[in-house]
């Protein structure tokens, strides 16, 4: 068996893993990254990027549909639109291929080595990798576990046949005529909305009493209204009990206790994700766990010296940008630099229609933490740029301490507000106060003026509403 030695071995080529490897190599660390799939992991290949491509395709096709129906407020019309879904998917796949190639190029430029194959941990210093050319043993001084997460499978609805995960939904050859989505979290709503715009008849089931149950009801209300406008049927307090005996229909128990059968060409199970801790020898390390997650400290160290863990495998929030930030920190630590995880806020975005973005804490969470708060909210219907874009539903809301006006959280719902995430996070990381945002000149006419106006409203100085 061939043997390889390096200082740092990264297991997993997703956003956390490849960022760790790039930064470590830039810092002069002999680095090897191992993954049995394409570089970029779930996010780039079968998650974040392809889903956003599909969402954009749905948005564009919906505009054509509206124009054909004479519903365009701009006075535009079009003939009956058609979609060549194979070309749409080829376009999506081209974006993914370009980005995966880009990751490989960045690793090479930085001087990091990569090895394609399934890695199995032997101990805290070595991993066996099964490659196309045979098995190799990699010995390393440091190890970073960045194996990510995978879709949750329901016991009463295992994957197979017409029951698919988000991975399957993003590689469908045609738009299903009838799509049932089990789970109204961000994954289910993002994909379900996109397919509704592409022409599918979509039904969404949620066991909780509202869609996006972990989000503030004020933020989700515009999303619920938009789903209704799109003709998407939403059933809350709904429990899936399985498939009919012939496997053709989905059986559901409603909140009222009625048993219902739904016809579906495809059933997307979007019931969440779980950390990927099986199948690569993690048990050989006997690491302490926090529930299903690997336990880490504020430097992403596990209980074993020289072994770090980052990303989804370490707990919530399961977000690519969290994994990237952790990976960058770990590389610095291995290089001998002093770092500690001290992020004040991690942005969370739901790419529904309209989009939702939150950074920091919302009003209820702030009060639970014992804060007396000031809240300022500005509706996008009072924003000139939102009106000219034809989408003025939603708002921006800022939450700050009553005593010193320190900003604790900023939230928004509206078309395109995902791009606010960086500004929101920067304000909180920099310790901004309401006055800092209110007295910063925001360019006109932009959607971003709503950020300033929300701070002005919290100070009792609102100008345009």
Catalytic positions = 444
Which tokens in the block code for residue 64?
């054509």
Q: Give the CA count within 13 Å in the CB-facing half-sphere of 392.
A: 14
DSSP string of 352-409, one letter each residue: SSSEEEEEE--HHHHHHTT--EEEEEEEGGG-HHHHHTT----EEEEEEETTT-BEEE
Query: Can you say how many angstroms the Cα of residue 53 is from the centroid of all Cα atoms in its chain?
Result: 14
CB atoms under 10 Å from CB of 297, counted, come to: 11
In the block, which residue shows the tokens 């740092």? 8
Q: How far is CA 226 from CA 82, 135, 187, in A?
A: 23, 53, 17
* Phi (first) and psi of residue 59, to 5 degrees: -60, -45
Environment class of 337 (CB within 10 Å of its CB; exposed 0-12, middle 13-18, buried 19+): exposed
Which tokens in the block code for residue 228?
């209704």
Q: What is the dihedral of CA 414, 214, 185, 292, to 10 degrees?
A: 140
Q: Give the CA count within 13 Å in the CB-facing half-sphere of 237.
A: 6
Q: How far is CA 251 from CA 25, 225, 228, in A?
A: 52, 26, 23
d(CA 152, CA 154): 7
d(CA 303, CA 69): 62
Nearby residues of 337 by Cβ (< 8 Å), 6 or more positions away = none
359 within 8 A of 424, measured Cβ to Cβ: yes
Residues in a beta bridge with 35: 116
Q: Give the CA count within 13 Å in the CB-facing half-sphere of 330.
A: 33
């Amino acid at each position: 068996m061939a043997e390889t030695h390096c200082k740092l071995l990264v297991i997993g080529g997703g956003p956390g893993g490849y960022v760790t490897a790039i930064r470590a190599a830039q810092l002069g660390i002999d680095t090897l990254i191992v993954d049995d799939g394409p570089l970029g992991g779930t996010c780039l290949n079968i998650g974040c990027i392809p889903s956003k491509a599909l969402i954009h395709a749905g948005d564009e096709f919906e505009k054509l549909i509206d124009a054909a129906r004479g519903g365009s407020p701009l006075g535009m019309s079009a003939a009956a639109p058609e979609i060549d879904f194979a070309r749409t998917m080829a376009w999506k796949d081209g974006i993914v291929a370009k980005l995966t190639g880009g990751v490989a190029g960045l690793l090479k430029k930085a001087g990091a080595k990569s090895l394609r194959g399934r890695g199995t941990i032997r101990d805290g210093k070595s991993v066996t990798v099964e490659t196309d050319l045979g098995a190799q043993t990699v010995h390393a001084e440091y190890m970073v576990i960045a194996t990510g997460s995978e879709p949750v499978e329901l016991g009463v609805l295992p994957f197979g046949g017409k029951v698919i995960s988000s991975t399957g939904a993003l590689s469908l050859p045609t738009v299903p005529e009838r799509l049932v989505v089990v789970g109204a979290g961000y994954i289910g709503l993002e994909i379900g909305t996109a397919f509704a715009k592409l022409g599918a008849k979509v039904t969404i089931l949620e066991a909780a009493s509202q869609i996006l149950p972990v989000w503030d009801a004020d933020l989700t209300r515009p999303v619920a209204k938009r789903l209704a406008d799109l003709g998407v049927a939403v059933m809350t307090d709904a429990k899936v009990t399985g498939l009919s005996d012939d496997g053709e229909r989905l059986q559901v128990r409603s909140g009222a206790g009625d048993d219902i059968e739904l016809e579906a060409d495809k059933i997307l199970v979007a019931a969440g994700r779980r950390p990927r801790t099986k199948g690569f020898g993690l048990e050989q390390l006997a690491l302490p766990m926090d529930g299903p997650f690997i336990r880490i400290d504020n430097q992403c160290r596990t209980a074993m010296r020289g072994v770090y863990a980052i990303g989804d495998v370490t707990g919530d929030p399961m977000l690519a940008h969290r994994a990237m930030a952790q990976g960058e920190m770990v590389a610095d630590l291995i290089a001998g630099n002093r770092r500690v995880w001290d992020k004040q806020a991690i942005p969370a975005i739901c790419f529904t229609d309209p989009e939702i973005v939150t950074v920091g804490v919302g009003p209820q969470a702030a009060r639970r933490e014992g804060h007396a708060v000031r809240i300022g909210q500005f509706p996008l219907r009072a924003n000139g740029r939102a009106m000219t874009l034809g989408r003025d539903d939603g708002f921006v809301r800022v939450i700050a301490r009553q005593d010193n006006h320190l900003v604790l959280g900023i939230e928004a719902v509206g078309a395109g507000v995902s791009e606010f995430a960086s500004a929101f996070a920067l304000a909180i990381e920099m310790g901004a106060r309401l006055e800092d945002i209110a007295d910063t000149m925001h360019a006109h006419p932009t959607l971003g003026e709503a950020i300033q106006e929300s701070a002005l409203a919290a100070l009792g100085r609102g100008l345009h509403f």
